[in-house]
Amino acid sequence: MLTARPAAVLFDMDGLLLDTERLIRDAMVAVMADLGFAMSGDDYAELIGRPEPASRALMQARFGAGLDYDVMRSEVRQRIRGEWGPVRPLKPGAATLLAQLNAAGIPCAVATSSENALARAHLGHAGLLDGFAAIVGCDDVSRGKPHPEPYLAAAARLGVAPATALALEDSHNGVISAADAGCQVVMVPDLLPATPAIRARLLAVAPDLDTVANWLAALA
């Protein structure tokens, strides 16, 4: 439950606004199998919320030099494009919550582990891009999640102190990033549950974005 109106709301993207984590996981596991590697859902869980360089390092450490990471990522992207084209499915309540915040005059930004251009393309196709005053991608910072820099940068671009901002996250790495930046954090779990260690960093856990919208409406 929220107790005060935030000065700004900072959103993660994949798994929070866009229902993409399952698409990426399933495509990656399938492509890895085609390449002769047995990748599990637990292997993918280690990547959630991390920027591309960190994911590359983890995958190379897990599967060794025999994995051509660039080939794998290219085939994953091709597989997803073949199934979904440029559009990515929205998480329930995403558009409604963003519209509510825009109407209330609460500035919004995205802090994502995806590249800035890719984030803008996906948010644009989903009809959400114009609702954000700033987009911070992994290529806009020197250190990605779980480092706090993405959320510090997002708050700075909106001109608000991190402690006055509400961050919405679905991943453990994202929660750590936002909490260490000093934000108030609500987790809306997707593929990963809110563990006791993660709950200790949270203001609250919400089952979905509609619940967050209701909490914010109650503060108006």
List residues with catalytic annotation.
12, 14
Backbone angles phi, psi at 29, to 5 degrees: -60, -40
Residue recorded with tokens 């954000």 = 132
- Residues 143, 138: Cα–Cα separation, whole Å: 8
Tell me how far the alpha carbon of residue 13 is from its chain's centroid. Answer: 4
3-state helix, strand, coil in the chain (%, to 5): 50, 10, 40
CB 183 within 8 A of CB 10: yes
Tokens of 162: 């991190």
Distance CA 79, CA 88 (A): 13
- Strand order of the β-sheet with 108-111 is 134-136, 108-111, 8-11, 165-169, 184-187, 204-205
CA–CA distances in Å: residue 87 to residues 120, 126, 201, 212: 12, 6, 33, 25
